[in-house]
Amino acid sequence: MRIISGKYSGRSFHPPKKMPARPTTDIAKQGLFNILQNEFDFDEIHFLDLFGGTGSISYEAASRGCAYSHTIEIDAKLVQFIKSNFELLQLPKTCTVFKMDIFKYLQNATEQFDLIFAGPPYPLPNLNTIPDKVFAVKVLKENGWFVLEHNPNHNFDNHPNFFKKRNYGSTIFSIFTNEVALEK
């Protein structure tokens, strides 16, 4: 696993063995961040990474200038791995990782974010409910984007907040935005 671009470009990390996570491929991650960099000034955004896994997406956001992020991960071993890498990269204290279930996090969330990423396990039984939960609790700022990584077994094209999608082999990023932004 490596950071593709930005301040920490080329930096490699070695996740714990037998981890319960599926890191986003480098090709898919690069494609996604090329799209995001054309839409967002990373120095200005508040970023939320649901299903943090190895932290790969959070490190990439930080490398591109994001100085405020929350990473949510339920697995204690992965939380420790992400924390140690945040320290290794000397990220600001505003880049934090929380050990908790993302659905509980969303129920109690009080902050809003410009960019939210979710890369859940593909066989997660309630994966299809994630966009509804994100929009129900209003954690996405006006004109913000919610990006959901999934495989071809899921389709969100008819979701009321669906904006567009990008395919990278069997990895699909569905991008959603709030209704206010859709009206513009």
The residue type at 18: K
Name the percent of the chain lying above pLDDT 90.
79
Residue 68 has pLDDT above 60, yes or no: yes
Distance of CA 183 to the CA centre of its chain: 24
- The residue ranges of DSSP E strands in 22-122, in sequence order, are 47-50, 69-73, 95-99, 113-118
Angle (nearest 5°) at CA 6 between 139 and 40: 35
DSSP state at residue 51: S
Domains in the chain: boundaries = 26-183
The pLDDT tens digits of the residues spanning 85-105 come to: 999 999 988 999 999 999 999
Name the percent of the chain lying above pLDDT 70.
95
Amino acid code (one letter) for 14: H
Non-local CB neighbours of 13 within 8 Å, separated by 6+ positions: 1, 2, 54, 55, 56, 59, 85
The β-bridge partners of 162 are 176
Contact 121, 154 (CB under 8 A): no
Task: Please give the CATH architecture assigned to the domain spanning 26-183.
Answer: 3-Layer(aba) Sandwich (3.40)
Q: Which helix (H) or strand (E) holds 148?
A: strand 140-150
Q: What pLDDT, in 10s, does the model give residues 131-170?
A: 999 999 999 999 999 999 999 999 999 999 999 999 998 9
